[in-house]
Structure 1
Amino acid sequence: MPLPDSGTTWPPIDPLVQSDLADWDAWYSAEPDRLEARYEGRGTAGVQNRPSQYAGGLRGRVARWFWGNPTPAGEKRDKLHIPLAGDIARTSSGLLFSEPPKLISDDTATQERLDKLVEKGLHPTLLEGGELCAALGGAYFRVVWDGDVSDRPWIDTVAADRAVPEFRYGRLVAVTFWTVLPGPDGIDDRRVYRHLERHEKGRIYHGLYEGTGTTLGAVRPLEEHPQTAPLASQVDAEGGLDTGAPNHLTASYMPNVRPARGWRHIPSAAYWGQSDFQGIEGILDALDEAWSSWMRDIQNGKGRIVVADALLQSHGPGKGASWEEEKRVFTGLNMLPNMGGDKGGRPIDVVQFAIRVAEHRDTCAALVNEAAREAGYSASTFGEASEGSAVTATEIRARQRRTLLTRSRKTLYAIPALSDIVAALLAVEAGFRFGVQGLDLSEPPKVEFEDSISESAGELATTSELLRRAEAASTETLVKMNHPDWDDKQVKAETEAILAETGRGPTADPVLTGAEGAIDAGFPSDGGGPRP
C-alpha cells in the first residue's frame, strides 16, 4: 500500500526542518501569542516561565530572545509586534504575480482553454501560492476536482508544512499532503484525524487515520469521517484512483529559492526551497524589541504631577486623599523639599521623561533595511522615503536593482512548476474522467512573466522617437513596444494606418501597375526621366 502504515510517526520530516518551518510560520502569522509560545514564553494562560530562561550560557541566551523573555508576574505584556515578515512574503508574491503570467500554446483550442483558466480564478491561487512560498520556502500546486463544485478540474495550492515530498535528482516524483480533520470533540491532540492524499504519476491515493499529535495511529475507513466519505466510492481496493493522465504527476513544487542553506546537508530536505525569513529571525526579533521600547518611552513620557500632602484633601481615616485640580486657593501649605534638594521646596512638581524618537526611529529603520537586504530586496521596496518627485521606470529599476534580481531568480523556479501543473490539468481534462476534446498535449504550455515595472506613455514615446531617428526599429516593432497587450492583427492594422497617414507606405511598382500606376507613383508613362 503506497500510503504509510499504521502507527507511523507524523510528519516524517527531519526535526530541524520541522523546527525551522514552525519558526517561520510563527513570524508569518503575525500573532504575538504564537511568537511567545514558539520562543518559550507565556503564549498561553497558565504556562509558567521555564528555568532555562533564567539560565546563563548558550542555553539561556537562546531562550532569552525578546519574544522568549518571561513577563514578570503581576505585570501585563507590553511587547508589540511589527508584521514585517508578512510584508516580505506579500511583497514577494506581488512581485511575481501582481500580473498573471501568460500561458501560451501554439494550438488555438488549447490557448482558449488557457485564457479561460486564468479568467476563472488561477490568478488569486498564484498570489496565495507565492506568499506561502516566500514564507515557508516553497509551495505546492495540485489538480483537484469535485463534481458538486465544478464540471472541470482546477488548481489548488498547499503550504510546504503540510506536505511530504519525494525528489529524485531534484525532480518531484511523488508527494503526500495531509489535512487535520475535526473529530467528534473538535481538534484534540489526544485524538487526531488526518486525511492523507498521495500523488503519484497517474494515481492519487486517499487514506484516513486516527492517531495523536505525533503519530498517524490506526487506519480508518474513509466512510467514518464526513469529509472523506464521498471518496469511499471513488477509490479502489488499494485506496487509489486513476487520474486519467498516466504520464503526468498531478502536483508540482515551486521552491522559493535554492539551495536552502540550513538544510543542504539533510538528504530528505536538500531539494527544498529556502524561506525569505531564513537568517533574519534575530533581526525581526530585534525590530519588535526596538519598537516596543519606543512605545514604552511614550508610556513613560506621559506627564505626571507630584504634589505635597498638604494639597491633598483627606476623605477621612482609612479612606485616602485626592487632589482637586480645579481648586484655586489652598491654605495651610506644608512645603516639601524640592527634587533638587533646595530648602525652600515646591508643593507641586511635574515629572516628564524624554521620548527618544530619533534614536528609536533610526534603529527601527536600520533593522528594516537590514532585514530587507538579507531577504534579497532593496530598502525602497518597503517604502523608503522619497523626495516626492515623479521618477521614471529607469530610476525605479536602479533603486530596486536587488529586488528585481531576486524576482528574476524566483521566476526561474516558478516557470517549470506552473508549466508542469497546467500541463497536468489539461491532461486530466482530456482523460477519461472529463473527455475534453481538441486539446494539444504534445508540449507543455509556455509560461511568460510580465514586467513588474512598466514605462509610462511618455517614456515609451521618447524611446520610440529615438529609435525612429536612429533607424533602429521598424514601425511594426515600435507599435508592438507601445502596445504589448495587442495581438498581431491589431498591430498590423495600426502599422498600416500609421504608414498610410505619414506617406511611408509601399510605393507602387510601374511594371506591375502600368501607366496609371506609374503616374500615381511619380514616374512618366513613357519610361523617361522624372517629370519637371
Structure 2
Amino acid sequence: MAIWDAWYVGDPERLTSVYRGTPTAVRVDRPAQYRGGLVGAAARFFWGRPVGDLQQAPAQLHIPIASDIARAGADLVWSEAPTFAATDKATQARLDELVDDGMLHSLAEGAELGSALGGHYLKVAWDTTIRDDAPFLTLVDADAAWPEFRYGHLVAVTFWWVVARDGQKITRHLERHETNAAGDGIILHGLYEGTEDKLGVAVPLSEHASTAALANLVDAESSISTGSPGIAVTYIPNVTPQRRWRNDPIGRHLGRSDLDGIEGLMDAIDEAWTSWMRDIRLGKARVFASRELLESNGPGQGASLDLDRELFSPLSAAVGSLNMATSTGNANGFLMAQQFAIRYEEHKQTVNELVLNTLRAAGYSAATFGEADGYGAAVTATEVAAREQRSLLTRDRKLRVIRPRLADILEKLLAVDAAIFRSAVKPERPDVQFPDGVQDSPLVLAQTAQALRTAEAASTKTLVAMIHPEWDEKQVDDEAQLILDENKPLPLSDPMGGFAPPAGPTAPGDLSGTTSGDAAVPAG
C-alpha cells in the first residue's frame, strides 16, 4: 500500500524513498539493488536504480498516470448520485435527510482513494458539536486500519491516527470497532505513546486535545455502545479478487488496487518521458568559440563573447578559416555550432504504447481518458459504450461490490439514528440503485420516444421514465399526468350554432321547457 500510495501521490521524492529506501539527498547504493528475485527487481526500478555521482544524477520526471486512473475509476461510479429507496415512507423521508451532499462527497472521495489503495472503510459516527440531530458517515483509508474478517465478512477493525509527534515520541489514537456479548456494536478508544514502530503504553484520553472529549463519554472499559446490532463499519473493496494476497487470511479480502500489477509499466513511462526530456535538453544549440573571439572583461572578470557583434578585429587567422569552421564544424576554427537531433517520434510512440498498455492492464479503455481518435465528435450512447466497453465492465464489477456494502452501512446509520437520536424510524436495508454510466443525448432520447409513441409500443409513463431516468416514480407520474391533461380533446361545439339545450324535462309531450312561440316537437 505504501508503494501504491507513492504512485498515487506522484511525489518524486516519495517514489525515490520507497524504491531506494533512502532519501533522495543520500544517493547510495543498496545491496538489494544487485540481488536477484523480486527484491532486486523492485530495487532496480527506474526510481530505485543506484546513482553513484550526485552531479551525474538524472533529472527524473514523473507522469501522474496513477492519479488519473484513480480519479477516472471514481468518476465512472460516482459521476451521478445513486438512489436509496426504503419501503417505509417515514424511513425514506429520514434517509433523504441523512444522505446529504457532504455524505455523497465522502463516498466519491472514498472511491478514488480505494481505487489507489485497494479499498476503503465507511463508518457511522456522531458528534453533537458538528451535527446535533443525526449521525453521519465518515471515511477511513485502507492503510490506517487493521481488519478482522470471518468468512469474508468484516467482524472487527482497529483504526489508528498519529495525533502528535515530539522527536522520537509518537502519540497515536486507536479506535476499535467490535461487538459485545449481546451482539451490539461497541467502539473502544485508546491513546498510546510510542515510537515509529512501537505502539508504546496507554495514557489517559484526556492527555491530548483530540481525545479529551471522549474521556467523559466512554465507560469503565473505554467503550461506547452504538445501541444497535453489528459493528458501525463496512469495508468496500475496490475490485475483487485480490491476486497478490489471495493466500493471505486478511489480504485476500482487502480488494485489488487499480495500480496492482502496473507498477513496472508506470515506471517505464517515467523512464521514457525522462529520456524524451533529456533529448530536448541535450538538443539545445551550442556555439563553441575560439579564444581569439573572446573579449576580456578586466582583471579577474573573465572574458565574454557578444554574438550580436558584426565586426571582429583583429583576427590572428584568415577569414577563410573562420568560414571553414562555421560551415564544416571544424573544432580548430573560430566558431563551431553543435545541435543534436531530438528523437521526437520514437519517444512519442514509445510513451503512447506504454500508456495504452497501462490503461488496458488497469481495466480501462483509452477512450475514457480521451485517447481515442475522434472522441470529441458527437456520438450516441451505443457508440460511447462500444468505445468504453472495458471501462464500463470495470464499473459494473465495482458496483457489484459497492451496492450490498453501501446498503449495509446505511441500515446501520438508520439504526444508530434510532438508538442514539431517538428518530422513531424503523431501520431497514434500503435498495441502492446507480444510474447507467452512459446515457443518450436528450435529442436521441426524444427521437426514440417519438418512434415508440408512433408505433404505440409504450405508454406515456414509460416514455417519461425513459427520457428522465434520474426522476423518481412520483415525478414520473406527475409529468405523465400533465402530458395526458394537456392532450385531452376539447369539448365539441353545437354544429347548429351553439343553442343551449332545453332547460326542462324532455319527456314525450312535455312542453314545459319551451317558450311561447316555440313549436312543440313530439317524440318520433
Band of TM-score, shorter chain: 0.7 to 0.9
Alpha-carbon separation, structure 2, partners of 1:267 and 1:487: 43
Q: Which structure 2 residues correspond to residues 52-451 of structure 1 after superposition, within 5 A?
A: 52=31, 55=34, 57-58=36-37, 60-71=40-51, 72-75=53-56, 78-151=59-132, 152-183=134-165, 185=166, 188=167, 190-201=168-179, 202-245=185-228, 247-315=229-297, 319-330=301-312, 331-334=314-317, 335=321, 338=325, 346-387=333-374, 388-431=376-419, 433-437=420-424, 439-441=425-427, 443-451=428-436
Deviation at 1:468, TM superposition (A): 3.0
Larger Rg over CA atoms: 2
Greater shift in the superposed pair: 468-477 or 297-306: 468-477
CA contact (8 A) 1:41 1:67 kept: no
SS in 2 for 1:274: coil
Aligned-partner residue type, residue 42 of structure 2: V
In the alignment, does 2:489 pair up with 1:484? Answer: no
Deviation at 1:281, TM superposition (A): 0.3
Cα distance, 1:344–1:444 mapped onto 2, change above 3 Å: closer
Cα distance, 1:109–1:394 mapped onto 2, change above 3 Å: same
Greater shift in the superposed pair: 412-421 or 111-120: 111-120
TM-score, structure 2 as length reference: 0.85
Alpha-carbon separation, structure 2, partners of 1:179 and 1:343: 67
CA contact (8 A) 1:35 1:43 kept: no
Cα distance, 1:55–1:348 mapped onto 2, change above 3 Å: same
Structure 2 residue aligned with 1:454: 439
Alpha-carbon separation, structure 1, partners of 2:65 and 2:111: 16
Cα distance, 1:60–1:244 mapped onto 2, change above 3 Å: closer
Alpha-carbon separation, structure 2, partners of 1:84 and 1:105: 40
CA contact (8 A) 1:143 1:154 kept: yes
Alpha-carbon separation, structure 2, partners of 1:273 and 1:481: 35
Cα distance, 1:493–1:251 mapped onto 2, change above 3 Å: closer
Cα distance, 1:338–1:54 mapped onto 2, change above 3 Å: farther
Structure 2 residue aligned with 1:464: 449
Cα distance, 1:219–1:148 mapped onto 2, change above 3 Å: same
Deviation at 1:375, TM superposition (A): 0.7
Structure 1 residue aligned with 2:508: none
Number of aligned residue pairs: give it: 477
Cα distance, 1:500–1:361 mapped onto 2, change above 3 Å: same
SS in 2 for 1:192: strand
Q: What value does the CA root-mean-square deviation take over the aligned residues?
A: 2.4
Cα distance, 1:180–1:41 mapped onto 2, change above 3 Å: closer
Task: String of CA shifts for 1:20-44, please: whole Å, max 9, x gaps.
Answer: x111111111111000000116534
Alpha-carbon separation, structure 1, partners of 2:329 and 2:213: 86
Deviation at 1:60, TM superposition (A): 4.8
Alpha-carbon separation, structure 1, partners of 2:5 and 2:218: 34
SS in 2 for 1:148: coil
TM-score, structure 1 as length reference: 0.84
Aligned-partner residue type, residue 73 of structure 2: S
Alpha-carbon separation, structure 1, partners of 2:194 and 2:270: 38
Task: String of CA shifts for 1:274-309, please: whole Å, max 9, x gaps.
Answer: 100000000111111111111111111111112222
Alpha-carbon separation, structure 1, partners of 2:382 and 2:43: 46
CA contact (8 A) 1:301 1:354 kept: yes
Gaps of 5+ in 2: 180-184, 491-500, 502-524
Task: String of CA shifts for 1:223-272, please: whole Å, max 9, x gaps.
Answer: 22221111111111111111121x13200000011111010111122211
Alpha-carbon separation, structure 2, partners of 1:211 and 1:130: 32
CA contact (8 A) 1:248 1:427 kept: no
Aligned-partner residue type, residue 31 of structure 2: S
Gaps of 5+ in 1: 1-20, 506-515, 517-532
Deviation at 1:465, TM superposition (A): 2.7
Query: Identity, % of aligned pairs?
Result: 49
